[in-house]
Structure formats: structure tokens, C-alpha cells
Chains A and B, each alone.
Chain A
Amino acid sequence: MSTHLPLQQTAGSKQVIPQEPQFISSKLIFVHLPLQLIAPSPQETSTGRYKTWDAFMVVVTGGFGSLGGAFIVSIIFGLLSSYGVQFLSQLAALLMFIFMAVVLVIKPMGLFGERE
């Protein structure tokens, strides 16, 4: 029981709680989200939203800061979606997400990302 006393003093007190989780301010995703929301015409918003997500997914799956990773993964995504429509038309939209999930479960930093 005595083990959690030092933690409560450091972490449980009220002074600690008003801190910003660090990765929020640093990620560009929060910059482009409002930009999408204010895009002027209805057709444009939906296309822009999904294309941006595709690009973001490619970068995360390939690994942050890796140009070659982004290139290879974008080719893999393209092939997956076009062959997916050919052979598994019902679940074609899922293949990219499944590929990304498998990669991130095995290597959370992305295919060619460096360990943090």
C-alpha cells in the first residue's frame, strides 16, 4: 500500500492535472482539420477530406521522416485498392485499413520508421 504514496504526491495533486498532453500541439493534423471544415463547396470538402486521410495514412504506415517508405507504401496502397476492386469488390475499401493495422500492430513506428 505504501508504494503508491510518492506517486500520489507527484501525480495525483491538483497542480499536475492542468498540463497539455505533449503530442497535441505538435501534430499538424489539427491544423488541416479546420482547413477542411471551412472548404467552400460540398463536393470539394468530401474529396479533400478523404485524399488528406489517404496521404496521412501513407506517411504513418511508411514511417515518419522516411521518403522511401512513403513512396513504397503509396504504391502498395494503390495496388491494393485497384486489385481489391477487381477481386474483392465488397471489401475493397477495407484493404488499406487492414494493411495499415497489420503494419502498426507489428511495427508501431511504421514500415521504415526509426525507433523513437
Chain B
Amino acid sequence: MNRKVQWIFWGAAFILLAFYPKIFGIYFTNVFVTFAIFALYAVSFNMLLGYTGLLSFGHAMFFGFGGYGTALALKHIPGLPLLPAVVIGLLAAAGLALILSPIMVRISGTAFAMLHLAFGQLMYILALKLRTVTGGEDGIGGFPIPPFTIPGVISVNMKSPENFFYFAMIVLGVSLWILWYFTKTPLGSIQVGIRDNPMRVDYLGFKVPQTKAVIYIISGAFAGVSGSIYALFQNLISADGAFHIMASFAPVMITMVGGVASFFGPIWGSAIFQIIEELTSRFTERVELVVGLILIMVIMFAPLGFMGFVGFLRQKWSIRFTKGMKRGMGS
């Protein structure tokens, strides 16, 4: 029965998503694409923080590498199709993660966070200074966006926001599904084991550093996918948008507000942030004021975020419900 309800829920969500641009118009379509990009970015970050217990202050470097990889490939390779461009973004971020992983698997805790801060700032300053490659502060903009083609079948123009919405939804949805499936595999279970007790996982005969490296590369690669979609969506990628320290903090805050310990938490967090930004910016420019206050409230009263709060309410409700049942049966 529970499974049936789940199928109905996902079916309804899918149908709503399919008709979303028709119902809500162009503006909210673009808002939704931004939400989905940051949802994937935060979920890939949560693979490190929530599942493996590694806090990173420089996740933006994978985001930026994905974006710059796609933008540079589209700018310099004429006639490159769309999907290979996204794959180049993924490979660029995964390559960076592969290069960094021998250092990163040996440390954890504060050193992990601060080393990521250092490498993130390194990438930021390199992106600013290597003007011939990255365009400096202007970034890379106005690169051609090719149509989505399956040879001999269809060719869809990506210039229209509606078509791009469907393309982004498919890429981001498939990426989210892959990450969700990954947490259900035995490797995904070892991930949780490493967070809770790395020593014990080691005694059981699993290779902790290699497992950490695999998780690190997967997390980086999917942050790269979100960055590459972001670059295609804006048709612009710049050092301030992709590598800046606030781009590294966005997933930290989204994950904290949404819920650290659950897979769907960051998705809810991204939605909450998008809604707050949308509502606040109608009244005042100081979006950070509201965001900061909400962050304080969440850390003080709901340390597990939105998902933890929902779970708490559900638990309380079910206790009351069973009590009521017992009383009803007694009388």
C-alpha cells in the first residue's frame, strides 16, 4: 500500500513537471531550473558531508571546473554536440577530484575543510589571473549553445527556455537518480560506516582510503554536472559566480537548512532557499538578512534541518495517534 502511494506521488510529480512551463510561464520555469541546479549541487555535497562525514569549504571548485570545462569546450571545439559538452564538464571535475584525492583521503575534520578552502581559493585566483584562458573577471560568456540532437531522429533548439527546461530536468533528474541509487548499493552503505566508525570498517577488511577516494570522485563529478548545466543555463561562467567562497558556502547552508542526514534534505533546502529569495526580493534587497536569521533559527532549534523537523513532527503525531487508538479501544 505504501509502495502504491509512492508510485502515485512520483507519477503526479512527473506529470506536474512535464506541464510546469505551460502552467507557470517562462519566469518561474527559469527559477525552477536554478532550483534544480542547486539541488544537484547540494546533494553531491551532501554525499561528502551527510553520508561520509567530511565537511568541505571548497566544493565550488568542482562546480566551477564543470562550468569552465563545458564553456571552454563549446567555445574552442566547433560543432560539438550538447551532451558531449556536459560529459566534458563532468570529466573535468572528476579529473580534478582524482588529482586531489590522494591528499584528501588521508585527512578529515577541520583539516579537510580548510584544505578545501585553500584549494578553492587557489582555483578562484587562478581563474582571475589566467586571463588568456578563463577571461579573467569577465569569465567566458556568449559561447554557442548547440541544439540537442540524436542523429537522424530529432534536433531540438536549446535557445528556447522551455526546451532547455526539459533538457536540464532530464540531465539533473538522471544524475539525482544515479546518486540515490549509489547510496543504496553496498558501497553506499560502507560510506555510512566510514562516517560512523572508520576503524571498524577497516577491521572488517574494507579499504577505507580507496572507498573515500571513489566517493570523493563521484561527488566531485556530479557537482561538475550541475556546474556545466549552470554554465549552459546562464550562457556565462565567471570566477565570481563559480569559484567564489560564497559559491562554496551555498551548498553548506542549503544542506544545513534542508537536513544533513537525509538524501532528500538538500533538495528541500534548495527549494526553501529559492522560495525565500523569491519572496524576500520583492520587498527588500537584503536577502542575506532573512537567510541569516533562518540559519540561526535552524541551527538553534532544528539541528537536523527541515527533514529532521518533519521526522520529529511525524514521530510526535504517530505517538499521539497510537495513544488515541489505545484510548479508543479501551472505552
Interface residues of A, Cβ cutoff 8 Å to B: 3-4, 6-8, 10-12, 16-25, 27, 30-31, 33-38, 45, 53, 56-57, 60-61, 64, 90-91, 93-94, 97-98, 100-101, 104-105, 108-110
Partner of A18, one of B55, B115, B292, B311: B311
A45 to B286, CA, bound (A): 12
Supply 10 A–B pairs (Cβ within 8 Å), ascending by A. A12-B189, A16-B192, A17-B192, A18-B261, A18-B308, A20-B261, A21-B49, A31-B299, A90-B129, A98-B122
Q: Does B201 contact A (CB under 8 A)?
A: yes
Are A108 and B106 in contact, with the CB atoms below 8 A? yes
Are A57 and B288 in contact, with the CB atoms below 8 A? no
Tell which of B109, B111, B186 has the most Cβ of chain A within 10 Å: B111
A108 to B196, CA, bound (A): 20
Within 8 A of A (CB), among B186-219: 186, 189-190, 192-193, 195-196, 201, 204-206
Are B201 and A60 in contact, with the CB atoms below 8 A? no
A34 to B252, CA, bound (A): 12
Check A104/B118 contact, CB under 8 A, given A21-B195, A37-B291, A94-B125.
yes
Q: Does B53 contact A (CB under 8 A)?
A: yes
Are A104 and B303 in contact, with the CB atoms below 8 A? no
Partner of A3, one of B109, B195, B205, B261: B205
Are B189 and A19 in contact, with the CB atoms below 8 A? no
Instruction: Using CB atoms, name the residue of chain B closest to A4.
Output: B186
Query: Which residues does chain A contribute within 8 Å of B189, judged by CB atoms?
Result: 4, 7-8, 11-12
- B interface bracket (residues with beta carbon within 8 Å of A): 35 or more
Q: Could you tell me the distance in whole angstroms from the C-beta of B58 to the nearest C-beta in chain A?
A: 10
Query: Which residues does chain B contribute within 8 Å of A33, judged by CB atoms?
Result: 249, 253, 295
A6 to B110, CA, bound (A): 30
Are A60 and B111 in contact, with the CB atoms below 8 A? yes
Query: Which residues does chain B contribute within 8 Å of A45, judged by CB atoms?
Result: 288
Are A37 and B129 in contact, with the CB atoms below 8 A? no
Are B295 and A100 in contact, with the CB atoms below 8 A? no
Q: Does B236 contact A (CB under 8 A)?
A: no
One digit per residue, 1 when the CB lies within 8 angstroms of any chain A CB and 0 when it does not, for chain B 292-310 equals 1101100100011000100
Partner of B292, one of A21, A23, A37: A37
Q: Does B254 contact A (CB under 8 A)?
A: no
Instruction: Using CB atoms, name the residue of chain B closest to A92.
Output: B125
Are B125 and A30 in contact, with the CB atoms below 8 A? no
Query: Which residues does chain B contribute within 8 Å of A31, judged by CB atoms?
Result: 299
Q: Could you tell me the distance in whole angstroms from the C-beta of A27 to the nearest C-beta in chain B?
A: 7
A57 to B118, CA, bound (A): 9
Instruction: Using CB atoms, name the residue of chain A closest to B189.
Output: A12
Query: Which residues does chain A contribute within 8 Å of B295, judged by CB atoms?
Result: 33-34, 37
Are B119 and A101 in contact, with the CB atoms below 8 A? yes
Check A20/B303 contact, CB under 8 A, given A7-B189, A11-B192.
yes
